[in-house]
Structure 1
């Protein structure tokens, strides 16, 4: 039995857990610690392999990236003269999603008891994970990478997709360049 004096402490712990869960990063980034990020002044999109067109989500991603790199005073130029080449893709990710409820039955007395429960129903969900990479045009090596921990799915409205892409790209570039004062950790 929970003592009434401990209830406020329990509620405070639950509230803290919810608060920390809400602050979890929506992206992860990685970078080449030997890259001279201060020397990069210009950028250009590079064609993603196998694509001769820009998809609807591709247009949304490009607009968000253009806005974020522009706010960092990097100039968009032709790919032949750019310091950085920007590549992005939306990878299909499969994950398991639990739906519905599970049911359980238990009995016992004192410190011992028995229980039986059903597993919640599970279904496979396919979603899109946004990945953005910045490539040094001289060395042709990736120097910075951002990946979303939030996913696009076909059930989202165009407005929801736009909002999600804007949020994730903004959070990715809050961590660019590495070590800048806008970086809030990984």
Structure 2
């Protein structure tokens, strides 16, 4: 009877882990000034905190981001990358300002990007939305290296990261879910493959 009980407890724990990872709220917002069609290379921001974290969890996030960037045609570049990638895992609930915007892939298809010379009457304008993000938010930010401005934020809220290998799996799934919001392949990549 004990082996059956252990199997049942293990199965319940595994299912609850899967359910917890699926409950994460995943959203994104972007800059109308983003030149999404011209970005081809990237590099990670280095510094303090999890971005410099060499633990298995930090490396799992970087590996998952590298995989998605490669799948979408982006190449790593240490010298003068088009995009800088930054990520952070926040603990606890937090208030976050996002934006109500046209669907991202439709915006990118237009090929339009606002610039300094865009007349005021032709600017999109941002409609801020205040959100309460649940305990555990993974935020990925893409920064235009030339302008030094964030052009895209993707975030998964409600990400519970347990210790050990299960935490790595949950972070990788969260990164995949976040990048499912970023439907941009480098120009010509799909025709080549």
TM-score bracket relative to the smaller structure: 0.5 to 0.7
User: Higher relative contact order by CA 8 Å / sep ≥ 6: 1 or 2?
Assistant: 2
Q: Give the match for residue 121 of structure 2.
A: none
TM-score, normalized by length of structure 2?
A: 0.57
Q: How far did residue 94 of structure 1 move?
A: 4.1
Q: Give the match for residue 63 of structure 1.
A: 63
Q: How far did residue 144 of structure 1 move?
A: 0.4
- Whether the aligned pair in 2 keeps the contact of 1:26 and 1:168 (CA below 8 Å) is no
**Aligned length in residues:** 125
Q: Give the match for residue 104 of structure 2.
A: none
TM-score, normalized by length of structure 1?
A: 0.59
Distance 2:74 2:93 in 1: 35
Report matched runs for 1:35-114 at 5 Å: 35-49=34-48, 52-78=52-78, 80-94=79-93
- Whether the aligned pair in 1 keeps the contact of 2:24 and 2:159 (CA below 8 Å) is no
3-state SS, counterpart of residue 58 of structure 1: helix
Segments of structure 2 that go 5 or more residues without pairing to the other structure are 1-21, 95-133, 186-193
Instruction: Show structure 1 runs of 4+ deviating over 6 A.
Output: none
Segments of structure 1 that go 5 or more residues without pairing to the other structure are 1-22, 96-125, 180-186
Question: Higher helix share goes to which structure?
Answer: 2
Q: Give the match for residue 146 of structure 2.
A: 138
3-state SS, counterpart of residue 160 of structure 1: helix
